[in-house]
Amino acid sequence: MSDSWPRRRLLAILRGTNEPLDAQELARITGQHVTTVRFHLDVLTRESLVRQFQQPPRGRGRPRIGYSAVQRSVGYQDVAQVLADQLGPDPRRRSEAAIAAGRAWGTRLAASDHRVESLEDAKEVTMTLMSELGFAPERDPASWDEDRALIRLTACPLRELARTHSEVVCGVHRGLIEGLFDRPGARGAIEVGMHPFVEPELCVARLEMAAPRCDSIQETVTVPVAGVAEMLTAPSARVAPQLRNADPHLAKQSAQQW
């Protein structure tokens, strides 16, 4: 549009009206000659800043050409793209930052009066929220048992961005679900996994009961010291929870595990 005050003024007028205006109406508003107005409107049209519409004639004559400003908006996809690009080059750090952000988001979204104390609670809360956010979740009853559940996410709102920034997008979504359970009575009880693109248009969320943790298993040993047996304790290593074998429904899942 260059540095043209007349064109900026025409564009501002068109953005402030709900209906298309023709060149004569704009000439009357601006005080410019109608030929000059048409020249500026042609430039704005070529730059895709305004759009032309055919309008009925006033009385007899040819149809009029009306003009309306092209409204531009910034959507969720655009904002997510900008943020994803600013998380740095290290995929691991990008993933960690995304999970932390998603967890904070999920904590804010969680209903304070709904405690998550079992896998059944976790399934219901996850299905409800992901449905509200547009993921079109589907239950996979064949994979559900008392220890684990798989939820099929068939409509990710950021699917195209996830194809190029999966560590960010899927990390946020994993953290989002984790945040739902990050409350008294549930912290550490449910483990969340996100399996992106197990099929071209399908991702899968995994909810699993965490294995019991033993933070301080002690062993009693007898050691002779100067003829006297003293009892010593030696702390053993922390026992890490083990994930179950891969479910057959995820035979095609991504090798990347979240």
pLDDT in tens, 201-213: 899 999 998 765 5
DSSP conformation letters of 169-226: HHHHHHHHHHHHT-STTTTTTEEEEEEEEEETTEEEEEEEEPPP--S--EEEEEEEET
82 and 54 within one domain: no
Contact 18, 64 (CB under 8 A): no
142 and 46 within one domain: no
In a domain, 257, yes or no: no
Report the CATH number that the domain containing residue 37 is assigned in CATH.
1.10.10.10
The last residue of one of the domains, among 38, 54, 69, is: 69
| Secondary element (H or E) of residue 9 | helix 5-15
161 and 35 within one domain: no
173 and 96 within one domain: yes
Contact 195, 204 (CB under 8 A): yes
44 and 84 within one domain: no
What pLDDT digit, counting tens, does each position of 196-239 carry? Answer: 999 988 999 999 987 655 444 444 333 343 432 332 233 433 33
**Res. 42: pLDDT tops 70:** yes
The last residue of one of the domains, among 20, 51, 69, is: 69
The confidence score (pLDDT) of residue 152 equals 93
Q: Which of 157, 104, 148, 156 is nearest to 123 (CA)?
A: 148
147 and 115 within one domain: yes
In a domain, 224, yes or no: no
In a domain, 256, yes or no: no
Domain containing residue 89 = 76-213
Confidence class of residue 38 from pLDDT cuts 50, 70 and 90?
very high
CA distance 157 to 16: 31
88 and 54 within one domain: no
CA distance 190 to 210: 6
Q: Which of 133, 134, 243, 241 is nearest to 180 (CA)?
A: 133
The confidence score (pLDDT) of residue 99 equals 93
- Six-digit token string for 2: 């260059």
What pLDDT digit, counting tens, does each position of 50-105 carry? Answer: 999 888 777 676 788 999 998 766 566 777 778 888 888 898 999 999 999 999 98
101 and 133 within one domain: yes
In a domain, 254, yes or no: no
Residue 56: HSE in the Cβ half-sphere, 13 Å Cα cutoff: 2
Query: 252 phi and psi, to 5 degrees?
Result: -100, 10
How many folded domains does the chain comprise?
A: 2
pLDDT (average), residues 111-138: 82
Report the CATH number that the domain containing residue 168 is assigned in CATH.
3.30.1380.20
